[in-house]
Structure 1
Amino acid sequence: MMLAALAGYVLLQLAIAYWASRKIAGDADYLVAGRRLGLFAVGISVFATWFGGETVIGSTATIATEGIAGARAEPIGYALCLILAALLVAGQLRARGYMTLADFFRDRFGPRAEVAAALVAIPTSVVWAAAQLLALASIIAVVAGLPVQLTLVGAAGLVIVYTLLGGLLGDVITDIVQSVVVLTGLVLLLVLLFMRAGGIGEGLAMIQPEQLVLVPEGESWIARLDAFAIPILGSIVAQEMIARFLGARTARIAVRGGLIAGAAYLVVGFIPLTFGLIAPHLGFDPAEGDLFLPNLARDLLPGALFVVFVGSLFSAVLSTVDSALLAVSALSTENIYARLRPEADEREKLVAARVLTVAAGLCAYAVATSGETIYGLVEIASSLGSAGLLVSLLVGLRTRFGGEASALAALAGGLATIAVAEYVFAVPGAFMLSILMAGLAYALAGLVLVRPVRA
């Protein structure tokens, strides 16, 4: 019954994606929904994209094991990221009519900076997609009773087909349905969790003081700062979110939609946190890792309600992973393929975008088999190469200081620093150090190699 219900839900999602595919005439329709999204669509879509497998499944498992210190970014860190992105970049990028973040680098810094920005941003989205694929595979594994590595293959195939059909328009339409299902499922499970605990007061009383310690014992101040900076600053340059802003009808809608998404994330994000804090005291084993929340739901919910909750988890993950694949497709098509074939028309670029969506899905599958946890993959995605993008974007949007050399230096400096400091020497505060080095590289190149900047 469970498999049949989930299969029916998947078919509904695919039907919506197919309907949306009939409205796609060119790459702008596929990648930014023809720039016709209203306020409600932008707000719900940005929220649904951010409220993915990492929030619902990954952070719950981490908090159950380590307390809030293990996933301190949830929900405040990522909610602040959405709000800052709305205030700092959404309106200006939409007003300029871009298709991708790298388009800004082309206009402000030049074609070499455009390609470099795309090459830095693409791996981030691939890793992000891998995290969501792993979450999707975990859900299917619980429902079907199959190994995660096997269900990962099915999850990858499903997501590729889903994204291939509908593009951003199909994604936004299903986001609205998915958000309703997500909220319904989470609220149902929260009510039953408190009922199992004997009431709201009794459930909250189970939370131990050590679970609420925000900073692990012995953690340095720089490592503490880094833990908050990664979610708040690292994801401001995420193409998955920026695509929604660029698909808005107006710059004003882009800004207001981002603010709505941030507020919604802040409120709803406390529900998975509550699961992680209370459920271990009710006999649920945190050692189950990423299967902790799906197994919790299977135990607490009656069959019909479990179907609803599985649908909600499935919705949250599907919304995020296809956004990540579209991000890779957009950057690859508009900022790399279009450079190699400047004569390509809209139809050719649409075909290229869909082919590159498949390639992105296969790459994400390969990363998902690496053995990392969901939350671990998301942390990698939030910090990998984003320092140079962030520095160049914020400085470039607001000043005329620095040209192509500055952007290239910032991208190289940020990427090299995070690679060496984080993955070679495991230096505390590696992400903040990468932002500092990207900023210094940008400034030095701007002072030494002075060239006229673009408007």
Structure 2
Amino acid sequence: MSALTIGLIAYIILQMGIAVWASRKISGDSDYLVAGRRLGVFTLGISLFATWFGGETVMGASAAIADEGLAGARAEPVGYALCLVASALLVAGAMRSKGYMTLADFFRERFGKRAEVAAALVAIPTSIIWAAAQLIALSALLSAVTDLPVTATLLGAGALVIAYTLLGGLLGDVITDLVQTGVVLAGLLIMMVLLLQRTDGLANGIAMIDPSQFVLVPPGESWIERIDAFAIPILGSLVAQEMIARFLGARTAKTAVRGGLLAGGLYLLFGAFPLVFGLIGAGAGFDPAAGDLYLPLMAAELMPSALFVVFVGALFSAVLSTVDSALLAVSGLASENLYGRLRPKADSREKLIAARVLTAVAGLAALTVAFSGDSIYGLVELASSLGSAGLFVSLLIGLHFRFGGEWSALAALAAGLVTIWLADFVFAIPGGFLLSIAAAAVAYVGVGFVTATTAIARAE
């Protein structure tokens, strides 16, 4: 057995140890899903940053940039950094002040029980797809380290993630975030230094980049496709349960806002690493055709064996943290907003059991999607756009204005889903996500005016 495999096993044992420790502090669904609302500014900011700075950023974005140049960097780091800042300013404080457990809880209080169930059903597939993207990243990493086929490592990654999430919940996830973030960032910094040594300095490294890689807009891309490429990461993830769960785990509303702003700043700063690895790495001879294995293979060649062991272990922890968050998002929505409707008298302990069972179900569903064969980056883009338009429109209007009711939210959710399906999967219309947001907004406002007018007429 190689030193790298032994080191990775040690990391897995450490991760499971953290999960077992965290499980002893979990007595109810609040502990499991929102870490007992214990998170301070620093803890929340680091955890939120680490959740977003997962497989799609470190591995997926590096590969996309190496293949597409700057055109592959629009989501990472700019788009998701702006998303974190916008969510902190527009969503975090208002949601935390209400003491919700999930995003769908807001829909229940603001729009009614039917809207709550509809919102949960729309949001759950998004988190499953997000989890699938992280499972692919995890299996690619394991495959690069162990030389096992991706199919085998994907099955192993799925089993590990399910077990880890079942035990530790959000508290175990947050502790892992704190441990691995520093190691990952240190490893990325060392790797950048080694890459620049390979190219004899930054100036030479930049000179090696193919000029075609500096093109921000792919040939033939329309203006609506261009705006859509930025809108998906910025607006599509604004309503992600993975993010909102951490805001809801903050000690106070102010803590939620400040933690979100800290996460956005960190993301913008350290999200530049994949940009360097993608552009200069490809110019230095590392093969973009390696796809999701591009970064692990680069690290293996650049780093000494001992350092590579530590780096791979920390990268493994980073990806594990992100997929864990996605599975918790699914189990939170399913247990609190679906199972909770079937069992309205269920106590906190019963909901905890339901959440853990549904975590396993979510893991199996994500594993099934991961076997579809899509890339990390492709799945992340799909997760950010699929069904989020109606959630985005209903949340922002409903959170800050009293206009619109149950039917407005239901109409927005339906319009967003139908439009994205028609635009992306039936007619291949450019700018499908923007069209879905426009359709959801028109549906929400239109139905809102109709219901308001009807209510006034009945009152008269």
The bucket for the TM-score relative to the shorter chain is: over 0.9
Match of 1:428 in 2: 430
Q: Are the aligned partners of 1:46 and 1:261 in contact in 2 as well (CA < 8 Å)?
A: yes
| Equivalence map 1:5-84=2 (5 Å) | 5-84=7-86
* Superimposed CA distance per residue, residues 282-310 of structure 1 (whole angstroms, 9 cap, x where no aligned partner): 22111111111111111111100111221
From 269, 274, 277, the counterpart of 2:276:
274
> Identity over aligned residues, as a percent?
69
Residue 319 of structure 1: CA displacement?
A: 1.1
For 2:458, the equivalent position in structure 1 comes to none
**Aligned: 1:438 with 2:440:** yes
Structure 1: 5+ residue stretches without partners? none
CA contact (8 A) 2:7 2:310 kept: no
Q: Secondary structure at the match of 1:449?
A: helix
Is the Cα–Cα contact under 8 Å of residues 299 and 308 in structure 2 kept in the other structure? Answer: yes
Deviates more, 1:279-288 or 1:164-173: 279-288
Q: Given the alignment, which residue of 118, 125, 128 partners 1:126?
A: 128
Does the Cα contact within 8 Å between 1:67 and 1:212 map onto a contact in 2? Answer: yes
Q: Deviations over 1:114-154 (max 9, x none)?
A: 00000000000000000000000000000000111110000
Classify the secondary structure of the residue corresponding to 1:217. Answer: coil
1:364-402 Cα deviation digits (max 9, x unpaired) = 000000010000000000000000000000000111110
1:173 alignment counterpart: 175
Among 97, 100, 118, the residue aligned to 1:98: 100
| Structure-1 separation of matches of 2:160 and 2:44 | 25
Question: Could you tell me which amino acid in structure 1 is paired with residue 60 of structure 2?
Answer: G
Q: Which residue of 1 aligns with 2:209?
A: 207
Q: Which amino acid aligns with 2:42?
A: F
Classify the secondary structure of the residue corresponding to 2:238: coil
Cα distance in structure 2, aligned partners of 1:287 and 1:208: 15
CA distance, structure 2, for counterparts of residue 424 and residue 288 of structure 1: 31
Task: List gaps (5 residues or longer) in structure 2.
Answer: 456-460
Deviation string 1:57-93 (CA, Å, 9 cap, x unpaired) is 0111111111111232110000000000000000000
Tell me by how many angstroms 1:208 deviates: 3.2
Q: Are the aligned partners of 2:27 and 2:349 in contact in 1 as well (CA < 8 Å)? A: yes
8 Å contact from structure 2 (residues 205, 284) kept in 1: no
Deviation at 1:312, TM superposition (A): 2.5
Match of 2:290 in 1: 288
Contact between 2:56 and 2:134, CA under 8 Å: does it hold in 1?
A: yes
Distance 1:227 1:283 in 2: 28
Residue 354 of structure 2: aligned partner: 352
Letter in 1 for 2:147: G
Instruction: Answer yes or no: is the 8 Å Cα contact 2:20–2:168 preserved in 1.
Output: yes
- 1:403 pairs with one of 402, 405, 409: 405
| 8 Å CA contact 1:6, 1:307 repeated in 2 | yes
Indicate the residue corresponding to 1:368 in structure 2: 370
Tell me which of 294, 297, 300 is aligned to 1:298.
300
Deviation at 1:106, TM superposition (A): 0.3
TM-score (ref. length: structure 1): 0.98
Q: What letter corresponds to residue 142 of structure 2 in structure 1? A: I
Farther off after superposition, 230-239 or 277-286: 277-286
What residue in structure 1 maps to residue 144 of structure 2?
142
Q: Which range moves more in the overlay, 64-73 or 85-94?
A: 64-73
| Inter-partner Cα distance in structure 2 for 1:148 and 1:187 | 28
Contact 2:158-2:363 within 8 A present in 1 as well? yes
Q: Give CA-to-partner distance per residue, 1:26-85, whole Å, 9 cap, x none.
A: 000000011111111100000000001000001111111111112321100000000000
Paired residues of 2:210 and 2:283 also in contact (CA < 8 A): no
Whether the aligned pair in 1 keeps the contact of 2:32 and 2:170 (CA below 8 Å) is: yes
In structure 1, what is the Cα distance between the partners aligned to 2:210 and 2:141?
A: 29
Indicate if the aligned counterparts of 1:181 and 1:311 stay in contact, CA closer than 8 A.
no
Report runs of 4+ in structure 1 exceeding 4 Å deviation.
none
1:233 maps to what in 2?
235
**2 CA distance for matches of 1:52 and 1:312?**
11
Q: 416-425 or 122-131: which moved more? A: 416-425
Per-residue CA deviation, residues 301-337 of structure 1 (Å, 9 max, x unaligned), is: 1100111221232122111100000000000000000
Q: Is the 8 A contact 1:21 1:167 kept in 2?
A: yes
Aligned ranges 1:218-257 → 2 under 5 Å? 218-257=220-259
Describe the SS at the equivalent of 1:73: helix
- Find the residue that maps to 2:306 and give its secondary structure: helix
Taking the aligned partners of 2:109 and 2:209, their CA distance within structure 1 comes to: 52
Give the letter aligned to residue 357 of structure 2. V
- Residues in 1 aligned to 2:21 and 2:315: alpha-carbon distance in whole angstroms: 23
Deviation of 1:266 (Å): 0.3
Equivalent position amino acid for 2:53 in 1: F
Give the whole-Å Cα distance in 1 for the aligned partners of 2:431 and 2:325.
Answer: 29
| Alignment TM-score, normalising by the size of structure 2 | 0.97
